Chains A and B, each alone.
Chain A
Amino acid sequence: MAGMGAAVLSALPVGLVDAVTGRRAEAAEAHYFFDAHQYATVDALCRRLIPGPEDDPTEPDPGAGEANVVAYVDLLLGAFNLPAPLGPRIWGAGPFSGRAGPPPWPFDEPGPRGVYGDDFARSAPLSASQVLSWRTLLEGTRGLPERRWADVAAQAGGAARFVGLQETYVNGVVQLDQAAAQMFPPAKSFVELSGPEQDLVINRPDLLAGFVATAFQNACEGMYGAPEYGGNRNRVGWTYIGFPGDSQPRGYTAADMLAPDTGPPITAAAVDLTRLRSAARALGGVPRSAVRPWIGGRGL
């Protein structure tokens, strides 16, 4: 696939991806799903959840703002609003992004060596069933008979019905604004509040267990996922945690694998044992339920 005019094939999608990842929250352009107020509200929320130096003066490293996490969330919710060939934007293609060097045999077909398009920037196709599944997950069931299975499963899981991710966000923004107005009159919206005030809204128990949990999940995906999905701009999410990102096709040598850490060791006091224990429980996997299928997954 790389050999068939790689430059031509990859140029257009990369351009589209650049257009997505290059947008800023304050830009007035059309978004894939959010309107301007929703975009600004989710941006503000993500900045509180994963702050950068602009959001928290004690924080040294780039956060959700610098990584443009809101663009990731907008692209997720509007995955089916992208024109072909990039849309629907659920999965990047494979096998390689080109970040870890050109592919060796058997993938280097005739062409200039050292040049390899970004496969992640193109989108992998969805089957008809996958289109229905992902559209239902994002849009909800909308009373359509072919989506009824999701309501039945959610009801069997204890919910009144299945609520799609788009509706979760639209309602979530309203909830944040209402909470802001209740807690900090005369404010009318979440985005008007100062950072510490926003934190108090976020910590309201109903929001924390509900919409904020969903937004935190997606914010982490946008912060630490591959940049081709709209967030993690300039790989700032990977850089500050020392994660080098995808290593194929180069991989690691025997010496790389056994190389000792050159950084200073930490002490036991640095580890919060309570949190380590609760995290270790999750190593076995947090079950992905039919009520909120975008949270959870398999274990270690």
Chain B
Amino acid sequence: MSAGKAVVVGSGAGGSVAAYVLAAAGWEVVVLEKGVDRYGDLVGLGPPLFANDELKETVRYFSDADTFAEPRTFRPSASDGDRTFVGLVDQLATGVGGGTMHWDAKTPRFWEIDFHLATTFGVPAGTTLADWPLSYAELEPYYSAVESVIGVQGDAASHPDFMREPSSRVPGGAAQAPRSGPYPMAPGPQQLDSTLLAEAARSLGYQPFPFAMAANSVPRDGRPACVNCGMCSSFGCPNQSRGGAAVTFLHRALEAGARLVTEAFAYRVATAGSRATGVHYLDVSGWPQRRERFEAADLVVLALSAVETARFALMSGIGGDLVGRNLMLHWFTYGFGTAPTRMHAYRGRASTQTLEDFVIPDTTAGRAVGLPYLRGGNLELGGSTWPIAEATYLNPALKGKEAKDWMRLSPIRDRILAITMGAEDWPTADKRVDLDPVVKDIYGFPVARVTYSPTNFELQSQAYIGPKLAAIIKKAGALYSGWISVTAPPTGVPGSPAPPGLSNVPSGDHVMGTMRMGDDPRTSVTDPAGRIHGTDNVVVTDGSVFPTSSGHNPTLTIMAVAMHSLHRLLGLPLPGATKSAGAPRLPATGASAGWQEGAGAAAAAGAAALALARRADAPAPEN
């Protein structure tokens, strides 16, 4: 596909990667973002508006979605009526950078086996489990390239054996996350709670290791080192050290000439036959004044996130009958306990240790309950919450002196020992997104309705692994420990507490599926390059193209697949094959990412020269 004009809808993880690859390849790029820009100067990376301010960032959703203005609806199944809930249903952050504006920035890779689960285990009844049309080996160079651009810290030498080398512990026996090179940066300092939990896990036979994370452990690429301020996950980064999409790929895209239009609510793609001709959007900067706009395009890239891309496709009438189906939400399960001493987990980076033992498909445990395997996800060892959250969790059961005793004790903030697991979710045709028949957003468009109930696989997996999380926490010295699943089973599972009163509204923020990729248009919406079947020039570059969900935080894979899709579509060379030996290296204070887009080497060199010039008159850094 030769260079022309591309319109990218969405400026989050997938959209920013697409914008950069296209701009560097010589395309005219316009990025439409419905929200606003909180970053200040994204070209010069000036101070942002984010802050260590719980009230602003979480309670008043400054760097999050406004679920009042743009609600979603939910129902467990089609037999539950039009909806059972209206409000926050897994909305991702709205604004430049999308979910990466306030992400936890943990960047594990999916595993080798994730790309061929259906071939390995078959397709369980009632599910739509499928192979990906690409392999881990094909994706690996893109993983490396993305890690380099967003700046990932980690320690490959500490990975467990089954990730580094072939192992009989994993069905199929292949190495699960082999790397072509080391992480771009070494891990930063470790949190107390994460360290204690990792030590406990190790003593129980698991293999914890420092959590890969897109946060600078040293000054790099024009951004300072992370200072471990603690207000990380759910907060915007005040000093730009966390490598979200905006300060990395979008920053580079803007330097390469891409144009960012904020407050641009895209609602329909214009088509002529199989060809998209542009995108209709509302300029909402004067809302409720209605300003219709149209941006012509030779290529349309959809990256609104899995639920919103499906909504956009449904409003546009493209993609066919499978649009919105096969929605996957990571199955969040928490282990929790109270430590006798204070853990001060407000010092750090949300959590600093992980383990992936529970990502190994457990066929023995699966057979015991009539399933091909049981499986969890990677663990976040450690983590905490904040004073307003701790104070209001028991609203209004505790009040008066009791409420203050609770705060002085601080069992779920300063003394918490927590483990978070986002586990694999199987796709089915009934887990889906469609348009709510009644509820509209602030702009008058029908909102996305999520219909979702877990299958027996998710319920059995959490019932099997949940107690193991509690055991790790007890071993770490907790006075008490327990576990809980975020999303309540509709009916209790034997051995599962299935506590009453627990919400069944999904809230894990990891959304995938809905526009799944594959070779066969009868079973998929997009082709192996993410292009919607039956269209010439509409490409999807967010998590909606995932055929399966793995048990890993999805953003790194969203970015790697986005880059792979566009390289495949445009016929660009492998990123690893064209390292930019000719591009100027930045000084040690702002060491450049080693990888530059091959096709855009000239633009990248110019950008680097600009960055050099900018830094020449800057004061010396302090470490």
A252-B47 in contact given A153-B439, A213-B396, A287-B507 (Cβ < 8 Å): no
| B362 sits at the interface (CB 8 A) | no
A150/B287 in contact, CB under 8 A: no
- What are 23 sample pairs from A and B whose C-beta atoms fall under 8 A apart? A1-B40, A49-B400, A50-B399, A94-B53, A104-B622, A146-B288, A156-B82, A157-B85, A157-B87, A217-B392, A248-B52, A252-B230, A253-B189, A254-B188, A257-B191, A257-B228, A266-B409, A271-B338, A271-B480, A283-B336, A287-B88, A290-B439, A299-B486
Q: Digit string of A187-225 for contact with B (CB within 8 Å is 1, else 0)?
A: 000000000000100100000110011001100110111
A251-B229 in contact given A156-B439, A289-B85, A297-B59 (Cβ < 8 Å): yes
Which residues in A have their C-beta under 8 angstroms from that of B507?
284-285, 287, 298-299
B355-413 interface (Cβ within 8 A of A): 383-385, 387-389, 391-401, 403-404, 406-412
A130-B54 in contact given A106-B618, A289-B86 (Cβ < 8 Å): no
A156/B73 in contact, CB under 8 A: yes
| A82 sits at the interface (CB 8 A) | no
User: Sorted from nearest, which 9 A-B pairs have the closest CB atoms?
Assistant: A251-B227, A246-B52, A284-B486, A254-B189, A94-B51, A95-B238, A225-B55, A265-B340, A261-B341
Q: Digit string of B79-95 for contact with A (CB within 8 Å is 1, else 0)?
A: 00011011111000000
| Size bracket, chain B contacts | 35 or more
| A229 sits at the interface (CB 8 A) | yes
Which residues in A have their C-beta under 8 angstroms from that of B60?
90-91
Q: Digit string of B589-623 for contact with A (CB within 8 Å is 1, else 0)?
A: 00000000000000000000000000000111110
A225/B73 in contact, CB under 8 A: no
- Measured CB to CB, the closest approach of chain B to A236, in angstroms, equals 12
Kindly state the separation between the CA atoms of A298 and B59 in the bound complex, as whole angstroms: 9
A251-B228 in contact given A58-B401, A281-B502, A287-B85 (Cβ < 8 Å): yes
- Measured CB to CB, the closest approach of chain B to A254, in angstroms, equals 3
| B68 sits at the interface (CB 8 A) | yes
Kindly state the separation between the CA atoms of A95 and B73 in the bound complex, as whole angstroms: 34
A224-B234 in contact given A104-B224, A261-B342 (Cβ < 8 Å): no
A153/B71 in contact, CB under 8 A: yes
| A259 sits at the interface (CB 8 A) | yes
- Measured CB to CB, the closest approach of chain A to B620, in angstroms, equals 7
A271-B479 in contact given A91-B62, A247-B52, A287-B507 (Cβ < 8 Å): yes
| A160 sits at the interface (CB 8 A) | no
| B285 sits at the interface (CB 8 A) | yes
| B69 sits at the interface (CB 8 A) | yes
Residue ID in chain A nearest B590 by CB atoms: A106
B73/A56 in contact, CB under 8 A: no
Kindly state the separation between the CA atoms of A58 and B405 in the bound complex, as whole angstroms: 11
A293/B400 in contact, CB under 8 A: no
Which residues in A have their C-beta under 8 angstroms from that of B140?
none
- Measured CB to CB, the closest approach of chain A to B191, in angstroms, equals 5
| B128 sits at the interface (CB 8 A) | no
Interface stretch, picked from A24-32, A34-42, A121-129, A171-179, is A121-129
Which residues in B have their C-beta under 8 angstroms from that of A157?
85-87
A212-B88 in contact given A95-B50, A150-B68 (Cβ < 8 Å): no
| A7 sits at the interface (CB 8 A) | no
Residue of B52, B86, B409, B501 near A270 (CB, 8 A) is B409
A282/B55 in contact, CB under 8 A: no
B334/A242 in contact, CB under 8 A: no
B229/A247 in contact, CB under 8 A: yes
Among A229, A241, A246, find the residue whose CB has the most chain B CB atoms closer than 10 A: A241
Residue of B50, B89, B188, B284 near A94 (CB, 8 A) is B50
Sample of 6 further A-B pairs with CB below 8 A, known A157-B85, A208-B396, A258-B195? A1-B47, A132-B69, A154-B86, A226-B54, A247-B231, A251-B226
Residue ID in chain B nearest A1 by CB atoms: B47
A257-B404 in contact given A268-B479, A289-B86 (Cβ < 8 Å): no
| B36 sits at the interface (CB 8 A) | yes
A240/B388 in contact, CB under 8 A: no
A233-284 interface (Cβ within 8 A of B): 237-238, 240-254, 256-261, 263, 265-268, 270-271, 273, 275-284
- Measured CB to CB, the closest approach of chain A to B165, in angstroms, equals 31
Residue ID in chain A nearest B342 by CB atoms: A261
Among B342, B348, B400, B484, find the residue whose CB has the most chain A CB atoms closer than 10 A: B400
Residue ID in chain B nearest A292 by CB atoms: B87
Which residues in B have their C-beta under 8 angstroms from that of A136?
68
A119/B51 in contact, CB under 8 A: yes
| A92 sits at the interface (CB 8 A) | yes
Residue of A50, A150, A295 near B404 (CB, 8 A) is A50
Residue ID in chain A nearest B442 by CB atoms: A149
Which residues in A have their C-beta under 8 angstroms from that of B82?
156
Kindly state the separation between the CA atoms of A108 and B440 in the bound complex, as whole angstroms: 45
Which residues in A have their C-beta under 8 angstroms from that of B86?
153-154, 156-157, 289-291
Residue ID in chain B nearest A213 by CB atoms: B396
B394/A220 in contact, CB under 8 A: no
| A288 sits at the interface (CB 8 A) | yes
| A13 sits at the interface (CB 8 A) | no
| A169 sits at the interface (CB 8 A) | no
Residues of A within 8 A of B (CB): 1-2, 48-51, 56, 58-59, 61, 63, 90-97, 103-108, 119-120, 124, 127-130, 132-133, 136-137, 146, 149-150, 152-154, 156-157, 199, 202, 208-209, 212-213, 216-217, 220-221, 223-226, 229, 237-238, 240-254, 256-261, 263, 265-268, 270-271, 273, 275-291, 293, 295-300
A279-B484 in contact given A95-B48, A216-B392 (Cβ < 8 Å): no
- Measured CB to CB, the closest approach of chain A to B13, in angstroms, equals 18
Which residues in B have their C-beta under 8 angstroms from that of A90?
60
| B286 sits at the interface (CB 8 A) | yes
Kindly state the separation between the CA atoms of A245 and B53 in the bound complex, as whole angstroms: 9
Which residues in B have their C-beta under 8 angstroms from that of A253?
189, 228
Residue of B236, B239, B393 near A279 (CB, 8 A) is B393
Kindly state the separation between the CA atoms of A216 and B404 in the bound complex, as whole angstroms: 13
Among A106, A199, A263, A297, find the residue whose CB has the most chain B CB atoms closer than 10 A: A106
Which residues in B have their C-beta under 8 angstroms from that of A97?
51-52
Kindly state the separation between the CA atoms of A254 and B227 in the bound complex, as whole angstroms: 9
Kindly state the separation between the CA atoms of A262 and B387 in the bound complex, as whole angstroms: 21
Q: Digit string of B425-450 for contact with A (CB within 8 Å is 1, else 0)?
A: 00000000000101111111000000
Kindly state the separation between the CA atoms of A112 and B406 in the bound complex, as whole angstroms: 43
Which residues in A have their C-beta under 8 angstroms from that of B236?
94
Residue of B66, B73, B385 near A133 (CB, 8 A) is B66
Which residues in B have their C-beta under 8 angstroms from that of A152?
438-440
Kindly state the separation between the CA atoms of A188 and B287 in the bound complex, as whole angstroms: 45
Which residues in B have their C-beta under 8 angstroms from that of A130?
36, 66, 69
A132-B404 in contact given A152-B439, A284-B507 (Cβ < 8 Å): no
A297/B88 in contact, CB under 8 A: yes
Which residues in B have their C-beta under 8 angstroms from that of A276?
336, 338, 411-412, 480, 482
Residue ID in chain A nearest B500 by CB atoms: A281
A280/B190 in contact, CB under 8 A: no
Residue ID in chain B nearest A137 by CB atoms: B68
A263-B332 in contact given A128-B284, A252-B229 (Cβ < 8 Å): no
